[in-house]
Amino acid sequence: MQFKVPQFLEIEDKIFGPFTFKEFAYLAGGAGICYILFKSLGIWLGAIPILIIAGLSALLTFYHPNGKPFIDMIESGLKFAMQDKLYIWKRHMNKITNEQLRITNKEKIITNDRRQLSGSKLRDLAWSLDVLDLKK
């Protein structure tokens, strides 16, 4: 006896037109809260909170960064903000005064360690590179 295996389990069903149940709940909840704010505060006092709630509702419904719902990003951000952080390495800063820098700079011997190639040595090197090509 064969059984049918369900496919596409990670894709949510569209129930209310082009919206899933969660997306519709975000839109309806945001619209309801905006209506309550409008009736209680009026248009002038409630404009900023209404815009914030409407924007958050629109983000939760339509914005899917990296193919994931925006609510997952909010959840991850809140977890990160609330969790204890483990710092393993903390740099110990040694404060060096100007006098200590002067003392160490006096102790250093400045040497010019560049090697100069003479013209004939450079010509010999170029000839050996041209003639002794090992890759051929």
Please report, in angstroms and rounded to a whole number, the separation of the first and last CA atoms in the chain: 69
Which residue has better confidence, 20 or 96? 20
Please report where in the chains the tokens 């924007």 appear, as a residue.
Answer: 55
Residue 89 lies in a domain: no
Residue 131 lies in a domain: no
As a whole number, mean pLDDT of residues 96-120 equals 69
Residue 65 lies in a domain: yes
Residue partners of 64: CB distance under 8 A and separation at least 6:
70
Q: Kindly state the tokens that stand for 27.
A: 């839109």
Residue 42 lies in a domain: yes
Residue 47 lies in a domain: yes
Query: The domain containing residue 56 runs over which residues?
Result: 22-77
Helix (H, G, I), strand (E, B) or coil at 118: coil
Residue 58 lies in a domain: yes
Which residue has better confidence, 100 or 18? 18
φ, ψ of residue 19 in degrees (nearest 5): -110, 145
- 23-48 burial, b at 16+ Cβ within 10 Å, e below that, comes to bbebbeebeebbeebeeeeeeeebee
Residue 5 lies in a domain: no
Q: What is the pLDDT of residues 20-78, one digit of tens each?
A: 899 999 999 999 999 999 999 999 999 999 999 999 999 999 999 988 999 999 999 99
Residue 4 lies in a domain: no
How many domains does the structure of the chain reveal? Answer: 1
Mean pLDDT, the chain, integer = 84
